[in-house]
Amino acid sequence: MQAFFHFPKIGTQVPKKQGADTLLYGEKARYNGGMAKKIIIADDHSLLRAGIKSWIEKHSSFKVELDAGTVAECDAIVESFKSEKRAAQDYIAVVDISFKNDGAGGPEENCGFEIMKKFSQLGIACVAFSSHDSGGFVERAMSAEIGAKAFVSKNADENVLLSALEAVDEGRTYIQAELVSGLLETRDISQTFTKKERLVADALALQKTNAQVAKELGLSEKTVLNYLSSLYDKTGVSNKIEFLERLGRV
């Protein structure tokens, strides 16, 4: 059985939730296919970075030119592209979602989303590479907001990552086969959210209290609690942490 799920046909659509961009598998991205041979690895585990670098360079023509183990180092790479005018389309970044913040402020974990967002805005194609591989994490990483072009679980075989890099290099989007069903399930559940439930879901954050969410949305705290109860029922969870995990937000 093949380890990956390719979508070579341009314009093949995955059912989308309300308000979300349709994911076009096999679509031609803005990157120049066949040109992105330089790799950036962003992961806060040094041994993993070294292992990925060694394996990629041994089994492909890709060369790991840059790597980062902290948020500050990732930001330095971003600044180097701005100041040195590197050709962003020649690079692909492999980014771990569960990147821990190094004291620079912001969320403590899952900083990889913000890192991918910054790289994508420069025109660097990103491959999300994470042990957090539920449908919510896949959807968020591949969303227009974050901009990843591929998603691979850290539990996958090394050849899966290489196949993803090759697909992105050719200008295609790519998701590991085993992760597609979770993505579709998350989208199906999200389609059941009412407009007000979606507003509450979008405003929810681990660091926010229900009172803060209520104030932000101009609702009573009791009303927010009622919406949260409905959201938890629809997603099959029992608390805020589980809900945010289900949606790839924590």
pLDDT at 206: 74
Report, as an integer, the average pLDDT of 61-89.
92
For the purposes of burial, counting CB atoms within 10 Å of the CB of 47, is it exposed (0-12), middle (13-18) or buried (19 or more)? exposed
Give the residue among 67, 61, 58, 14 at the shortest CA–CA distance from 169. Answer: 61
Q: What is the CA radius of gyration of the chain?
A: 19
Residue 120 CB coordination number (10 Å): 20
- 155-213 per-position pLDDT tens digit: 998 999 999 999 999 999 999 999 998 888 888 888 899 999 989 988 887 778 999 99
- 82-123 per-position pLDDT tens digit: 888 788 999 999 999 887 666 544 444 568 999 999 999 999
pLDDT tier for residue 79 given thresholds of 50, 70 and 90? very high
CA distance 67 to 54: 13
Name the residue with higher pLDDT: 185 or 147.
147
Whole-model pTM?
A: 0.73
CA distance 105 to 71: 10
Helix/strand/coil for 186: helix
Statement: residue 250 has pLDDT above 70: no
Give the phi and the psi of residue 122 in degrees, each rounded to 5. -80, -15
pLDDT at 204: 87
Residue at 25: amino acid letter: Y
